[in-house]
Amino acid sequence: MNINEVISSTEYDFLRDDPKLRDRIALLTFGGSISYGLNTPESDIDIRGIVMPEPSDLLGCGFIKDENTAFNEHYIYGANGFEQYLDRTTDTTLYVLSKIVGLFYKCNPNTIEMLGCKPEHYAMVSEYGKILLDNRELFLSKLAYGSFAGYARGQFQRLKNAIGKDNGSNVFKSISLADSIERIQRHLEEECKHYKRECLKMFVTDLNGNKITVNGTPVDAYDVGVLFNDTISEITVNGKPISDEEVQLCFSLDIDMLPANEFSVVTNEITSCIKEFNKHLGHRNHKKDTYHLNKHAMHLLRLYFMAEDILARGEIITYREKEHELLMSIKTGEYFNAEQNTLSTEFFDMVNSMDKKLLTAYENSKLPERPDTAKVSRLLCDIHMRYLESSKT
């Protein structure tokens, strides 16, 4: 599909007519199935892009909305002014440069892919867009593991909900909550210099604090592989069966001389995580049709493949040519049992295997723990300075 032919149609005239877009567009590209090479004739066309800010947002009162444009349905404002353009009719989203750089820095799965599309999938690439593409490696770091694995596991849990595979077991809930908290632990370690992940350890136990065994295997709170199991047939403690209602997640704390301000950050973050998790318990997904279940399953595997490329090889590969046949076979239902309304054991095994493989890639990755803040900041400043120079009248 030719992106220039797509955006030349009249329904995309807003790209050329809207004063916040027009010559401020830094680049456009395909999003969704087309960008992954996994589209079918029925697939929607998604356009994603980056737009330069208004000079007043950089140098003036960007935080004060212009009365003439503040209530435009397409404009989304943040603390520093206009930050996103959304056209729902064509499913087009453009991010202002500073907004998208912040998302790139975190290796956000839904946006970092914009830097790894096929060359022919880009359009209206300005000098500022080219600078970003030429410096894409600045945004690659081990943060990709938490962002991609966390997103994938969340997607997997929603998929299990949709096909009725999650029976609401406290074992699944405890390990899923532990996984959410562990991802926050990485963030807390970076934000609070006196806090270490080892300060908080988690255990799945019975009501008396004894470790449990599931289906004959001892369960660890960090064993996310349990989340990929279909069923729990037996829960025991010291060889004696217990009920699922007796299972809980427990904390062991070892904190010494943690400054009050850091203690507040740690407790607030973890408490908020637990509250948010509990708020969504019991909320079932709306029933999906078979097509969307298979599509959901396909994108789940795609996330893992893309994350492994980043962590193991330092590459952003959005177009999944290598796994095309496998991913399309999932999308077309080869791993779906229509009679039982569920995905096959082979699919769940693949997800479990990829989750473990991604952890290995993370542990062996040569990428930095996080992007070099100074280099990213210099890149953004350089682009902004060039842009402001060219904006002089």
Q: In 10 A of CB 296, how many CB atoms?
A: 20
Provide DSSP, 164-227: T-----HHHHHHHHHHHHHHHHHHHHHH-TT--GGGEEEEEE-TTS-B-EETTEE--TT-GGGG
Structure token digits, residue 311: 């962590």
Which phi-psi region, left, alpha or beta, contains residue 95 (left: φ > 0; alpha: ψ -120 to 50)?
A: beta
Q: What is the pLDDT of residue 73?
A: 81
- Specify whether the CB–CB gap between 244 and 235 falls below 8 A: yes
Q: In 10 A of CB 190, how many CB atoms?
A: 12
Residues of the chain with pLDDT under 70: 60-71, 161-168, 225, 227-231, 280-288, 393
Q: What is the pLDDT of residue 338?
A: 79
* Distances in whole angstroms, Cα of residue 12 to Cα of each of 3, 16, 41, 367, 377: 11, 8, 20, 39, 33
Which residue matches tokens 């299990």?
160
Helix (H, G, I), strand (E, B) or coil at 116: coil
Q: What is the pLDDT of residue 149?
A: 86
Helix (H, G, I), strand (E, B) or coil at 315: coil
273-290 confidence digits (pLDDT tens): 898 888 766 554 445 678
Structure token digits, residue 382: 């350089």
Q: What is the pLDDT of residue 279?
A: 75
Whole-number Å distance between alpha carbons of 302 and 324: 10
Strands 46-51 and 25-31: antiparallel
Q: What predicted TM-score, i.e. pTM, was given to this entire model?
A: 0.77
- Specify whether the CB–CB gap between 150 and 106 falls below 8 A: no
Q: Which residues pair with 93 in a beta bridge?
A: 48, 86
- Specify whether the CB–CB gap between 222 and 239 falls below 8 A: no
Which residue matches tokens 């359009």?
123
- Specify whether the CB–CB gap between 329 and 380 falls below 8 A: no
Whole-number Å distance between alpha carbons of 386 and 393: 14
Q: What is the pLDDT of residue 18?
A: 94
Question: How many Cα atoms sit within 13 Å of 127 on the Cβ side?
Answer: 7
The identity of residue 211, as a single letter, is K
Helix (H, G, I), strand (E, B) or coil at 31: strand
- Whole-angstrom distance between the N-terminal and C-terminal Cα of the chain? 38
The dihedrals phi and psi of 92, each to the nearest 5 degrees, come to -115, 130
Question: How many Cα atoms sit within 13 Å of 12 on the Cβ side?
Answer: 19
How many degrees, rounded to 5, is the angle at CA 13 between CA 12 and CA 19?
Answer: 120
Length of the chain: 393
Q: What is the pLDDT of residue 245?
A: 93
Q: In 10 A of CB 55, how many CB atoms?
A: 15
